[in-house]
Structure formats: structure tokens, C-alpha cells
A and B are shown apart, each in its own frame.
Chain A
Amino acid sequence: MKIIVAIKQVPVRDSNLRIDASGHWIDEDDLSYEINEPDAYALEEALQLKEKHGGEVVALLAGPERGSQTIREALAKGADRAIHIECDDLASLDTLGIANRLAAAIKDEKADLILTGLQSDDLGLGQTGVVLAELLGIPHATIIMQVEAASGSIKVKRELEDGWFQHVEMPLPALLTIQSGISKLRYATLMGIKKAKTKEVRRVSAGDLPQAAAATVTIERVYLPEKKKETQLIDGSPKEAAAKLVEKLKFEVRVI
């Protein structure tokens, strides 16, 4: 089974984020980066499937030069090779633009299975995998907790709400977006890190891929949650005041 895993590099979880001068994105200087958490589980799932069924795991990353560190880690954990779409303009693309690039870079790979994380820790849109599947013309399933492969098809377990699950059987090739926390992540071993140096990384320049149409979704403003404090005194008799309070809680604050 040939499996492609899309992995994104995001700022490490407890980073101190600052807004950049444009107000459209975060200041990327002085940040440390790591693999997007759900993507780490997607990679783990791919490696486990390969251990069971044989085949090849290819890591796919779109991002700037620093992404090579995340690729190196994926190779050290056991991915066989990697594709790095080199680009500095991720923050200016929308989901369709990014999915277009990923699709163009892997269309000749003829993968049996494509795994992505459920969503990214920075943008949290949860759409890249779904759109990518549409562009490739293959079926997809989201929020996957378990994958069992048979010949030519797979059985997956999806997480629904309220503790409900759905079991789906689907044909291959297919795309799955993987939920976080579904297994125990392996470590990159020192032997793995050494071996990763010799593995192939195909570098694709974003300029060589078909140009995406202008983004239809753009980020207007990035800002830290604004704290607002306001005190209102409601007067009148207790009965009138209570009625006004209920009104405000219902229609202004919308908490009841």
C-alpha cells in the first residue's frame, strides 16, 4: 500500500505569539516549529499500516525552508521519502489554494491512501484534506479514529458527536483526515535520525505548479482576544429589573 501523509509545520504549542506589523498574521521570527499534532497521528497511522501491510509511506509538506526539520523528523520516524513544496506564501493562500498545490504535487504518485490531520493547530479550518480529496476525485472520510485495510478497500471508524461512532467501508484510493490522540506516537530513534539523512526528499518549487486563482477567503485581521469589562446597573423594582436582566441575557449576551 502506498500512503501519502500530508504534514504541516506549526508553531510549538506553548509559544508566545505576537501579531506581525501587517496585522494579518503572526510574527514568525524567534518561533520554534513542530509537526501539527493531528498530522503526527496521521503519520503514526500510516507507519502502522505499512508495518502491517507493507508498501511505502511518503511525507508531503508545503512550507518554507524550515519545514525540512519536520520532514527530517518524519523520515527519522520511518517515512520512506518526502515531497517538500517550497513556498513562503502559505499565510496568503486559502484552503483551495493550498489543496491545489498539494494535489498538483502528488497527482502522478498514484497513492492508495492519503492521510491528513483532522485540522491544523494554527488555522483550525479542517478543510484542506476534504478539498484535496475533491480535487483528486477520490472519496474521503473525516475524524478517523481507526483504519483497517483489506484488499482494495478499508474500514474506518469515525468519531461523531456525543460519544457516537460511525463505521464506514470505503474503496481505495481514498483520503482520510485523522483525529488526534488515537494511538501512542513513536519516537524518532537515533538510528532513525541517522538513516533519515540518506532518504530522498523531492523538492518542488511552488512556482512550477499551476498557479492558484486568487484567494476567495482572506484573513482580515489577526488579534488577541480583547478583554471588555462593562458594568450596567439595572434599576426599577426587583420584578422589573429581573425581567430586564432576562431580556439582556437572552438577546444581548445570548447566554440563555
Chain B
Amino acid sequence: MAFKFKNVDFIGFDAILSEDERLVRDTARRFIDDNLIPIIEECNREGRFPRELVKPMGEMGFFGANLHGYGCAGMSNVEYGLVTQEMERGDSGIRSFVSVQSALVMYPIYTFGSDEQKDEWLPAMAKGEKLGCFGLTEPDFGSNPGGMRTRARRDGTDYILNGEKMWITSGSIADVAVIWAKMEDENDLVRGFLVPTKTPGFRAYDVHGKWSLRASVTSGLSLQDVRLPASALLPGSGGLKSPLMCLNQARYGIGWGALGAAMSCYDTALQYSLMRKQFRDQPIASHQLVQEKLAWMITEITKGQLLSLQVGRLKDSGKVSHEHISMAKRNNVAIALECARMARDVLGANGISDDYPVMRHMMNLESVKTYEGTQDIHTLIIGQAITGIAAF
């Protein structure tokens, strides 16, 4: 049976967090241990999103936690990161849901929205009474969203939207979709719209057969002559830069989140290796090859913590650049996936069973590696930042 998580802290990392930061992490940890851990394996098996946690998570202040006002908690970016770490220690699917709600829907409304849009959506979304999704990716445009085909045409004072979106987290459970489209009468400039999902012509259908993020809803969206009033346009949005700003928020949280999944795998492997005995009645932790795996994991997790913390401190002081966030996302997801694979080895046959969280994390992290900019795309972002040459 799965083990109760023990804090992972090799170099006194917790001591460089503030009192509030630790308190935020601990309260999120307790919430996840009490409410998500007991049900997550069943959710994963059944491909069920645990809707029952939405309201309690809203009461905790998990949605839009680093936004200020509108009922949001007003956390610092480091505090917000520690919350996403704990969520993803539970499950990447739940963290994805919260990232989308917070960074991809509430953030653009907060940043690009009109006062009316903010008042209408943010307080309800902070409480979890309304859910959102973010439609950027299309069937033919993933890494290169600039090629998107979704279009907005002006008709009097209204807009008419047409297009297809694909791989959209929370698509079929959302009340509102942030849809990115090219403006036909603004030279194909990319802008965002708030589309209530009950608008005629809007349809969401779920993607089935996923072997990853099974506790999160993934949908395709179809927009056929969706007529929207002018007030649906996010007035502050303009250019591909706008959705990329949202992705930066989410990617920052993923950098922390991946560490949570890695910690869960490492801690499981450590506890298992001390308990499981093979050869001469010795725990497998006494074998050098097992220790090598554990040492690699804790070292990479520790380096990842320092990386995410520094990026968070930069973000809090307004000095962060997108390539810093790319480095945290790229590195931490990669090491988390490697930790999951190593932990799965340490657990032997038990490693493939959902009595333990390891294989679930491993499969989840395959999505996390792809979305919000693939591993390779973040390599190219860092490459461009240091050489000045775009290699996309």
C-alpha cells in the first residue's frame, strides 16, 4: 500500500522559505493528503475528474491564488508555486485543472479583461462556482500556435467565431472558454474572447483513451458561427504575446508542480526500498545500485527546488524573463519523469501497480512534458535566449 508522504528536504531548503511560505505549503499538503490521496487512484482508474473537490479547493483559495482582489488569495509567486507543488504531488491532472483555471483563464481575464468581465467572472471563478478552459491548440497547430486557423469576423457590433480547438483541458466542464482567434479585420492579429460555453454553435466533446492525466478532462472544441457581442473580446489582448503571457504563468507553476510529482516518486521509492528485503534478508536500500538511483533522485529534486525558488523570487521582484521559466519547466519535468522511471524500477513489480502512485505520475508526466511547450521547444527558447538565434 502507498506510504504516507514524508517531507523531502535534503539541504535545509525549508529553512530558506519564509514562515508564511511554509505555512502555505503545509496547509496545501494537508488538504491534498486528506482529500485527494484517498481517492486519486480510483479517479485515475475510472478516468474521473473529482468534481467534488472543486468547491473545497475554492474555499482554500487555490484558484487564482497569486492574483489580488476579486476574492483571490493574493499569494506571492513562491507561495503559489508551493501550492502547485503539493497539488501535483497528489496528481498532475488536478494540478492541470487548477493551472488552467488560475493561470490560463483567471489570469487573462485579470490582465486583459474589462472591469465588467473581471467582476462577472473572477469572484465566481475564485470560489470554483464557475470553471474555465483555454483554447489555443488546434488539430494542426500545437507547438506553432501562430499558424492557428480559428477566425473572428466582425458582423455589425458582434463577432462571429469559427474554428476547431484540440486537447483542451476542462473543455467540457467549463462555463467559459478563453478562445484565441485571428481577427479578420485586424490583419490576422491574435486576440482572446470569453466564450460562454452555452453559446449556440459552441460544442465540446471529450477525448477518450488517454493513458495520461486520466483524472483531468481533455476535450476538443468546435466553434461554428458562434456569435458574440463586442463585450466578449478581451480588450487588452493583442498578438500571440497575449496567450504566451498566460502560458508563462502556467509554466512557472508546472516547474514547481513537477517537483511535487518527483517528490512523491522519490519518497515512495525510498520508503519501499527500506521495507522490501531481498538477498540475505537485507533491505534493497542496502544495495549500491538502488542507492545510486535514490541519490540521483534527491540530488536532482534538490537542484530543481533551488531553480524554482530563484525563478519564483525573480517573478516576485518583477525581474523574471520567459527563458528563466522555460528552464524551470524544462528541467523539472525532465527530472521528474526520470525520477518516476527510476522509482518504478526500485519498486519492481509493485512499480507497475496502482497500489503505489509511481506509474500514474510517470504516465501523467508524459503529458506535462508535451503541453505548455514541449521539452524541445523549451530547449529552443533557452537556445535563442543565449545565442540570439531562433532555431524553431
Contacts and interface: CB of A to CB of B under 8 A. Distances in A.
B61 interface: yes
A9 B27 CA distance: 17
B30 interface: yes
Contacts of A69: 19, 22-23
Nearest to A184: B34
A191 B73 contact: yes
Tell which of A72, A76, A193 has the most Cβ of chain B within 10 Å.
A193
A191 B20 CA distance: 12
Contacts, number: 47
Interface string A66-89: 001100110010000000000000
A73 B23 contact: yes
Interface string A154-191: 00000000000000000000000000000000011111
A32 interface: yes
Q: Which DSSP category, helix, strand, loop or mixed, fits chain A's interface? A: helix
Given A193-B20, A194-B75, 5 more contacts: A68-B19, A69-B19, A187-B27, A189-B59, A194-B73
16 contacts: A14-B6, A69-B22, A72-B20, A72-B23, A73-B27, A76-B23, A187-B27, A188-B27, A190-B60, A190-B62, A191-B61, A191-B73, A191-B74, A193-B20, A194-B73, A194-B74
A190 B29 CA distance: 12
A56 B212 CA distance: 49
A110 interface: no
A242 to B, nearest CB: 37
A248 interface: no
Nearest to B74: A194
Contacts of A14: 6
B370 interface: no
Given A14-B6, A32-B7, A190 B24 contact: yes
State the majority secondary structure of interface residues on B.
helix
Contacts of A244: none
B61 A190 contact: yes
A247 B284 CA distance: 46
A212 B73 CA distance: 44
B19 A189 contact: no
A68 B20 CA distance: 11
A72 B83 CA distance: 18
Interface in A193-246: 193-194, 197
Given A72-B19, A72-B20, A189 B75 contact: no
B73 A197 contact: no
Nearest to B9: A32
A197 B73 CA distance: 13
Interface in B116-160: none
Contacts of A76: 23, 27
Contacts of B14: 32
A190 B23 CA distance: 9
Nearest to A185: B30
B42 to A, nearest CB: 22
Contacts of A68: 19
B377 to A, nearest CB: 32
Interface centre among A68, A69, A189 (most CB of B within 10 A): A189
A213 B180 CA distance: 74
B269 interface: no
Interface string B17-51: 00110111001001100000000000000000000
Contact of B73 (A32, A72, A187, A190): A190
Nearest to B28: A190
A193 B24 CA distance: 7
Interface in A29-55: 32
Contacts of B337: none
A187 B60 contact: yes
